[in-house]
Amino acid sequence: MATPGTPRPLRRDAERNRRRILDAARALVAERGLDVSHDDIARAADLGVGTVYRRFPDKQELFDELLAERVEDLVTAAERARGRADPWEGLREFVTATLEHQAGDPGLRGLMGHGQGRGLALRARRRMAAAVVELVERAHASGQLRPEIGVGDVAVAEIMVTEIVDRAGPVDPELWRRALAVVLEGFRARGGPPLPGAAPPMSTVERLAPRPGA
């Protein structure tokens, strides 16, 4: 029995319809971007459009739920990487997993820059911050990561390679993996000359995040 103030769980058929709507919307957004309608989603989910409107009367609410699910996937990836015995492999695994999510779901970046999505994306980065800080600190302690590399550098690297994901997708959808490998090799401690400047603070990284229409 639900306690006062807590939402009732959906009936089994209602939950099944909700899942069909979300799965159809995710596939459409990945294929066509955010310019999809309730009618498009209803056809893809093989449901009546009234069912879609009843569950998600506001399309932004639907987008927010899609992004919230992706956020949970990214947080799980950060926690899994933190459990790796090899600090460098843990860091590499996390950055790679983050970019794999974006490469495999072209609509994800659009969701992050659309409406309330920017706020959800910001909260996602903050939720992952503790895990990322630990990944960087462990890689420093093991001597595998250049001492001047900070968490902000990791975030900027993701932004840089995301541009390759977007631009090279229609030409060579796997090119981002090579670009990421080049960037990560620059992170390794090899006794080379120090990097110019300092690791950017996260406040700077947040200002670099994709904006609507970018």
DSSP per-residue letters across 97-122: HHHHHHHH-THHHHHHTSTTHHHHHH
99 and 174 together in one domain:
yes
199/94 same-domain check: yes
pLDDT value at 5 more than 60: no
Q: What is the pLDDT of residue 41?
A: 95
Same domain, 69 and 110: yes
Query: Does a structural domain hold residue 1?
Result: no
Same domain flag for 20 and 93? no
Q: What share of the chain is helix, strand, coil (3-state, %, to 5)?
A: 70, 0, 30
180 and 81 fall within a common domain: yes
Structural domain range at position 15: 11-57
pTM of structure = 0.73
Is position 4 within any domain?
Answer: no
Residue 3 lies in a domain: no
Residues 76 and 50 in one domain: no
Q: Are residues 27 and 66 in the same domain?
A: no
Burial class (CB in 10 A: 0-12, 13-18, 19+), 169: middle
Confidence band of 105 (pLDDT split at 50, 70, 90): confident
**Given a cut of 50, is residue 212 above it in pLDDT?**
no
In a domain, 37, yes or no: yes
- Residue 3 DSSP class: P
Q: Residue 213: inside a domain, yes or no?
A: no
Between residues 96 and 207, which one has the greater pLDDT? 96
Nearest to 108 by CA among 93, 123, 118: 118
Q: What is the pLDDT of residues 24-50, one digit of tens each?
A: 998 888 788 778 899 999 999 999 999
Give a yes or no: residue 106 inside a domain.
yes
Same domain, 63 and 24: no
- The answer to whether residues 61 and 25 touch, using CB atoms and an 8 Å cutoff, is no
Residue type, 119: G
| pLDDT score, position 1 | 47
Asked if 48 and 68 sit in the same domain, the reply is no
Q: Rounded distance, CA 93 to CA 85, Å? A: 12
Does the structure show a pLDDT above 80 at 115? no
- pLDDT, averaged across the chain: 84
Annotate 63-100 with b (16+ C-beta within 10 A) or e (fewer): bbbbbeebbeebeebbeebbebeebbebbbbbbbbbbe
Give 154-197 pLDDT, tens digit per residue: 989 988 998 898 888 888 989 999 999 999 999 999 877 888 88
Q: What is the pLDDT of residue 214?
A: 42
**Cross-strand bridge partners of residue 145:** 188
Total number of domains constituting the chain: 2
Select, from the ranges 5-9, 16-20, 29-33, 64-68, the one with the highest average predicted confidence (pLDDT).
16-20
**Side chain identity at residue 191, one-letter code:** G
Q: Are residues 75 and 166 in the same domain?
A: yes
* Cβ neighbours for 118, distance < 8 A, ≥ 6 positions apart: 112, 209, 211, 212
Do 42 and 117 belong together in one domain?
A: no
Pair (95, 24) in one structural domain: no
Which CATH number does the domain housing residue 106 bear? 1.10.357.10
